[in-house]
């Protein structure tokens, strides 16, 4: 990364340029900041190429091709303008070295990294080929290394399989050392040509040299046609055998990406430890250098604290959890108040509390630390969950009635009151909104000492959680799925990073979770797993901001908030969008929280909390049609919860410490407290 020079532009389109990342045959690549605060790699083509009609056609094809490819191993396109005087394209910024740079500076990758690399490259090619494209220039310089796996970049010479070849007569595309034999002879390109390049790239990672040597390009091309590569850097075994098949001179004998992934089925998933230490340090250095935790991205909230008003707790013997009734503190007294026989808090005007009115009391500070709200099935209780707390609220009276002790590392609840609370190497299961301990799930794996982000299935029979040996959750992250009755983990899945949110679908058959960067400051994407097998079903990649809500009535649907605040209803059977919600107003604050009405008919979006004394407005859609019902005048901040009968909608703005209770029908404000 280098500073901008006086000759560099300071902005391209709506994006502010920050530094130079490099240059290539097409032009310069800059580190840029998008209007939404995300970092991007912005490719600005050379002036002479900008005036070449053939190149402009190819660049336009590159952009359209890249937009068709999505997945965890290909950076997403954020923006582009192929019709500009100087065309450009902005993609997700990956703050890691190329494989070529990593091997040059730190030596070949260790043997344990090679299956992860090969599997990630195969998955990237599967996404490219699934869009009816061929990359045609896969090589170490077009592979970025990141904790979440290899990232395949530069579709600058990819072409649609069914499209017109845009190269000049006699021009050979691809880099000689990684070009397939049929590409050398001009016999045509196909997906298995990319497979040949994949294997050559893995051999380079293992041995530090191109598969067919270096030197004169004509000599290299001759060796590709007539000689076998040197496999000695790859340990004998299944991976070496697979690479040999991929490098067969006859394209008909090579496996496709599906066969490669089958052969690599036992390869570990990418995680922050898949790269050798020097390369990981290089990634972290680049993250720090670029400030790769963009302003406005998702973040972990600070751990919740139990305040004096919530300190009268009962500790169950054996270190378990329990909930005990908590009298609310009278404002300004520091004394606990009891309930009068009529049900109103002592000292409150009873006339203000009947028929669904609300007590005008000071709200307990614990509420402002919440990052999730949900109503009980009967609508009488509001469950308040934070990264380190769980409490039960009488929402009409505005007071805490119960809270967990000891403070958990995360908690979840079902509408009927079953609670899962994570604490160290165990997960506690309780009934009756936490008052009745049921069982403890003890971790049998000595390497796992911490759990967070527990999620209960709707029937309470299973619980899933993030598990790791590292209390900073920056290495070896796992998704564990437990059978509560059996008291054992039935599935363990390796993750590329920590989880920020985790939730079962309405029928309990699938899990949906938000994967974040190692530090938790940036969302990588939303993943969907089969809850029975642990199989990764879908992955929706993010450029920094993403969120979801599971549909309460349709187990095959989720609402997905994309980067740029586009909201889609997604079919989990196919991974395709069922509909896209109408855009929110241009001047709205960033959307953070999504919540369905209990019947799934409405979708509510709360905006990011703010520290300013200003109204913040969310949006409401008809989930069946995507039509906007309210936009710009609904006081919805994040998080949001909808009452089971639609009576009220509760919204928090922790930034200015404001609780809003809105009419469920027209979203007029019924009550505010701060």
Least confident of 329-343, 446-460, 618-632: 329-343
CB proximity list for 95: less than 8 A, separation 6 or greater:
39, 146, 283, 286, 287, 289, 290, 292
Mean pLDDT for 295-301 is 26
- In this predicted model, what pLDDT tens digit does every residue of 101-111 receive, in sequence order? 999 999 999 99
**Residue 616 pLDDT greater than 60, yes or no:** no
Q: Where does the pLDDT of residue 436 fall: very low under 50, low under 70, confident under 90, or very high at 90 and above?
A: confident
Q: What is the pTM of this model?
A: 0.49
Q: Where does the pLDDT of residue 355 fall: very low under 50, low under 70, confident under 90, or very high at 90 and above?
A: very low
Question: Of the segments 197-211, 470-484, 645-659, which one has the largest average pLDDT value?
Answer: 197-211
3-state secondary structure of 625: coil
249 annotated among ligand-binding-site residues = no
Q: Token pair of 456, please?
A: 């209960």
Specify the pLDDT at position 383: 84
Catalytic residue among 38, 137, 364, 562: 137
Q: Token pair of 414, please?
A: 């079902």
CB 61 within 8 A of CB 68: no
CA 110 to chain centre: 28
Between the two ends of the chain, the Cα-to-Cα distance in Å is 46
Q: Could you tell me which residue, 434 or 448, shows the higher pLDDT?
A: 448
> What does the DSSP 8-state code read for residue 278?
H
Q: Where does the pLDDT of residue 365 fall: very low under 50, low under 70, confident under 90, or very high at 90 and above?
A: low
Rounded to whole angstroms, the Cα distance separating 419 from 460 reads 8
Specify the pLDDT at position 108: 96
Q: Where does the pLDDT of residue 404 fall: very low under 50, low under 70, confident under 90, or very high at 90 and above?
A: confident
CB 376 within 8 A of CB 395: no
Rounded to whole angstroms, the Cα distance separating 651 from 1 reads 43
Percentage of the residues of the chain whose pLDDT score is greater than 90: 30
Is 137 a catalytic site residue?
yes
Q: Spelled out in words, what is the top-level CATH class assigned to the domain 95-295?
A: mainly alpha
CA 592 to chain centre: 13
Same fold, 1-93 and 95-295: no
Q: What is the mean pLDDT of the chain?
A: 77
List phi, psi (to 5°) of 251: -60, -25
Rg (C-alpha) for the chain, rounded Å, is: 27
List phi, psi (to 5°) of 56: -60, -40
User: Ramachandran region of residue 412, left (φ > 0), alpha (ψ -120 to 50) or beta?
Assistant: beta
CB 520 within 8 A of CB 500: yes
User: 522 vs 91, 153, 526, CA distance in Å?
Assistant: 16, 20, 12
**Residue 588 pLDDT greater than 80, yes or no:** no
Mean pLDDT for 422-447 is 78
- In this predicted model, what pLDDT tens digit does every residue of 66-100 receive, in sequence order? 788 878 899 988 999 999 999 999 999 998 899 99
Cβ-based neighbour number of residue 468 at 10 Å: 22
Specify the pLDDT at position 446: 65
Nearest CA among 316, 55, 31 for reference residue 166 = 55
Specify the pLDDT at position 521: 61
Mean pLDDT for 590-612 is 76
Q: Map out the domains of the chain as residue ranges.
A: 1-93, 95-295
Mean pLDDT for 123-146 is 90
Q: Scan for tokens 């967990």, then name that residue.
A: 404
Specify the pLDDT at position 308: 28
Mean pLDDT for 479-505 is 89
CB 455 within 8 A of CB 374: no
- Counted residue by residue, the chain has a size of 674
Nearest CA among 73, 16, 520 for reference residue 293 = 520
Nearest CA among 518, 117, 101 for reference residue 279 = 101
Mean pLDDT for 487-515 is 89
Q: Spelled out in words, what is the top-level CATH class assigned to the domain 1-93?
A: alpha beta
**Residue 312 pLDDT greater than 70, yes or no:** no
Report the helix count and the strand count for the chain, using DSSP H and E: 10, 39
Q: Could you tell me which residue, 393 or 480, shows the higher pLDDT?
A: 480
């Amino acid at each position: 990364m280098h500073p901008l020079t006086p000759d560099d532009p300071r902005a391209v389109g709506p994006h502010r340029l920050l530094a130079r990342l490099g240059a290539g045959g097409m032009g310069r690549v800059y580190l840029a900041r998008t209007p939404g605060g995300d970092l991007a790699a912005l490719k600005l083509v050379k002036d002479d190429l900008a005036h070449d009609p053939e190149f402009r056609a190819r660049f336009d094809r590159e952009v359209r091709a890249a937009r068709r490819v999505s997945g965890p191993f290909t950076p997403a396109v954020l923006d582009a303008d192929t019709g500009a005087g100087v065309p450009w394209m902005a993609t997700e910024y990956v703050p890691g070295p190329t494989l070529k740079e990593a091997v040059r500076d730190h030596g070949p990758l260790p043997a344990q990294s090679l299956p992860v690399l090969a599997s990630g490259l195969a998955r990237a090619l599967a996404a490219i080929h699934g869009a009816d494209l061929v990359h045609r220039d896969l090589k170490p310089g077009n592979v970025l290394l990141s904790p979440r796996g290899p990232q395949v970049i530069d579709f600058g010479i990819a072409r649609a399989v069914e499209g017109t070849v845009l190269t000049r007569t006699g021009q050979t595309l691809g880099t000689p050392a990684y070009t397939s034999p049929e590409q050398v002879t001009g016999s045509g390109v196909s997906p298995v040509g990319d497979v040949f390049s994949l294997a050559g790239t893995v051999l380079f990672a293992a041995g530090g040299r191109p598969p067919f040597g270096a030197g004169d390009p004509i000599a290299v091309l001759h060796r590709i046609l007539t000689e076998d590569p040197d496999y000695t850097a790859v340990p004998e075994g299944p991976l070496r055998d697979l690479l040999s098949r991929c490098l067969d001179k006859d394209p008909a004998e090579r496996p496709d990406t599906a066969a490669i992934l089958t052969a690599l089925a036992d390869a570990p998933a990418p995680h922050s430890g898949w790269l050798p230490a020097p390369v990981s340090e290089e990634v972290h250095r680049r993250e720090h250098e670029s400030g790769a935790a963009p302003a406005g991205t998702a973040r972990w909230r600070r751990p919740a604290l139990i305040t004096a008003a919530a300190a009268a707790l009962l500790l169950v013997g054996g270190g378990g959890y329990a909930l005990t009734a908590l009298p609310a503190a009278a404002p300004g007294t520091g004394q606990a108040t009891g309930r009068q026989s009529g049900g109103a808090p002592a000292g409150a005007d009873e006339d203000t509390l009947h028929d669904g009115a609300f007590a005008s009391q000071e709200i307990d500070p614990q509420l402002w630390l919440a990052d999730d709200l949900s109503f009980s099935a009967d609508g009488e209780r509001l469950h308040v969950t934070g990264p380190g707390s769980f409490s039960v609220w009488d929402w009409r009276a505005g007071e805490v009635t119960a809270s967990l002790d000891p403070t958990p590392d995360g908690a979840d609840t079902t509408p009927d009151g079953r609670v899962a609370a994570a604490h160290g190497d165990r997960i506690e299961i309780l009934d009756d909104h936490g008052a009745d301990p049921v069982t403890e799930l003890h971790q049998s794996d000595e390497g796992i000492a911490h759990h967070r982000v527990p999620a209960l299935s709707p029937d309470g029979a299973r619980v899933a959680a993030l598990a790791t040996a590292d209390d900073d959750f920056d290495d070896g992250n796992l998704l564990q799925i437990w059978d509560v009755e059996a008291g054992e983990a039935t599935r363990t899945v390796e993750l590329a990073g920590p989880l920020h949110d985790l939730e079962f679908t309405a029928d309990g058959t699938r899990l949906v979770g938000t994967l974040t960067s190692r530090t938790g400051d940036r969302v990588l994407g939303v993943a969907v797993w089969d809850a029975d097998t642990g199989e990764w079903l879908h992955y929706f990649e993010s450029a920094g901001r993403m969120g979801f809500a599971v549909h309460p009535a349709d187990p095959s649907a989720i609402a997905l908030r994309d980067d740029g605040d586009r909201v889609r209803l997604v079919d989990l059977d196919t991974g395709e969008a069922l509909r896209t919600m109408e855009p929110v107003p241009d001047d709205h604050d960033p959307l953070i929280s999504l919540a369905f009405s209990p019947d799934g008919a409405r979708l509510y979006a709360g905006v990011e909390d703010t520290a300013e004394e200003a109204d913040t407005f969310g949006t409401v859609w008809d989930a069946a049609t995507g039509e906007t019902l309210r936009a710009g005048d609904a006081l919805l901040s994040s998080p949001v919860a909808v009452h089971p009968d639609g009576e009220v909608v509760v919204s928090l703005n922790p930034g200015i410490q404001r609780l809003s209770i809105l009419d469920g029908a027209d979203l007029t404000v019924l009550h505010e407290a701060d």
